[in-house]
Amino acid sequence: MEKEGLELIEIGSTVSYPFENKPDESPEDVLTENIKDKSFAVVWLDYKVLIGTWSGQKFQFYDDEEFENKYLQRMRVFNKDREMLIYRTGNGFKGRLRIDDKDGTGKEIIVANQVLFGTKKGKKCNDSYTEITEERGTSLVLPFGGLDIDIDDKQKRIFIKTHNYIDYNTVNQAIYVDCRFINFCDNETDL
């Protein structure tokens, strides 16, 4: 269902830092321990961005593309309940795991749909993936096949749904302290 603007809700949410006690772990090992369900993956590399899925044990991207961890800048592996954010530092990888409990309370969040670049279908489309692109050359290959939508810059767009976590500073001013990806959606439904 199409929503205008932002939505404020309250949920339960916990954060942990899996790399703190395992500084030499690979991103895949930490993901295997913490994200066991099929999830989406957005991977920022030194040379491109990949969007695909995580099976609980391995990544799957368009055209079976793979990457080496030495080129990994940042990644988010996420589903409706949790997200692992991993990023490269000068001393290896670090990251955080955030788990939401929709029945819990105590954490205010803003739910927002962030529009993705892409106003028309590209050529990289098959049963499992759809490319969305812009005239200026920006394109993303999404892990959804057969998106039967007519993307244009005024009506139908693809979004990434986010939870934006609120806390309060020492003068009781509301601030964002974290953001996590939830899923992809169009104007009407989750994909």
Q: Which residues of 87-111 are buried (b: 16+ CB within 10 A; e: fewer)?
A: bbeeeebebbbbbbeeeeeebbbbe
Domain boundaries, the chain: 7-113+159-185
Q: Which residues pair with 54 in a beta bridge?
A: 39, 59
- Determine which of 23-32, 114-123, 165-174, 178-187 has the lowest per-residue pLDDT on average: 114-123
pLDDT in tens, 142-185: 998 876 555 554 567 888 999 999 999 999 999 999 999 999 98
Pair 39, 25: CB distance under 8 Å = no
Pair 85, 96: CB distance under 8 Å = yes
Tokens of 151: 């993307």
Q: What predicted TM-score, i.e. pTM, was given to this entire model? A: 0.89
Mean pLDDT of the chain: 87
Tokens of 75: 């990644």
Tokens 């409990």 belong to residue: 101
Identity (one letter) of the amino acid at 155? Answer: Q
